[in-house]
Amino acid sequence: MAIENYDFVPLKVDTNIKPFKCKDNDLNGFLFDDSQKYLADLMAVTYLLEDLSCGKTVAYFSLLNDKITFDPDQRSIWNRLSRRVANAKRRRHYPAVKIGRLAVSEEYAGQGLGRDIIRLIKFMFTHGNRTGCRFITVDAYHDAVGFYLKCGFDFISEKDQNEITRSMYYDLKRFLDE
């Protein structure tokens, strides 16, 4: 089923979160234990996809501000990243929005909802955005790296190849050009 078939709800501090369970206990715990605290502390905003017909949370994602910073040890990656930025606009830092968490319920997995959520985030930050934001970043768990690569993300660094997560980015100008 497509993302349009569900209700898109910004989480509020007093939201009663409907049942949700994905494969990752950390992602489940964030939604129920931390997402409202992050909102109250102005650290991240979480959005829910809800299936009101059965009273469940289908998926959720959290967004927070970020930036991409030049790393002299990763010059080739930085050159590829900034190649599309006009020379007069090139900087040592670029504004970004970070996907802090993205999870789809086990019951709804495999329906393309994660891909649709990424497309929604790309749209949110290229149409009617309130701040300048050139990139989307994510610290992807290794088992999610393939998903983000399919969604057009690239690696920010090669230094984190053996870490729990890989830093990745997506240039929002690509979305506007598609």
From CA 125, how far away is CA 108, in angstroms rounded?
A: 26
From CA 88, how far away is CA 34, in angstroms rounded?
A: 41
Query: In sequence order, what are the beta bridge partners of 7?
Result: 50
Residue 112 has φ and ψ, to the nearest 5°, of 85, 10
112 touches 2 (CB < 8 A): yes
Residue 140 sits in a domain whose CATH number is 3.40.630.30
Is it the case that residue 176 has pLDDT exceeding 80?
yes
Average pLDDT over residues 125-144: 92
Q: How many domains are contained in the chain?
A: 1
18 touches 102 (CB < 8 A): no
Which residues in 52-164 belong to E strands, given as ranges?
A: 56-69, 93-104, 135-141, 154-155
pLDDT band at residue 47 under the 50/70/90 scheme: very high
71 touches 78 (CB < 8 A): yes
From CA 96, how far away is CA 75, in angstroms rounded?
A: 19
From CA 6, how far away is CA 10, in angstroms rounded?
A: 13
**48-105 per-position pLDDT tens digit:** 999 989 999 999 999 999 999 888 788 788 777 777 777 767 777 889 999 999 999 9
106 touches 57 (CB < 8 A): no
Tell me the residue range of the domain where 71 lies. Answer: 3-177
pLDDT band at residue 149 under the 50/70/90 scheme: very high
168 touches 148 (CB < 8 A): yes
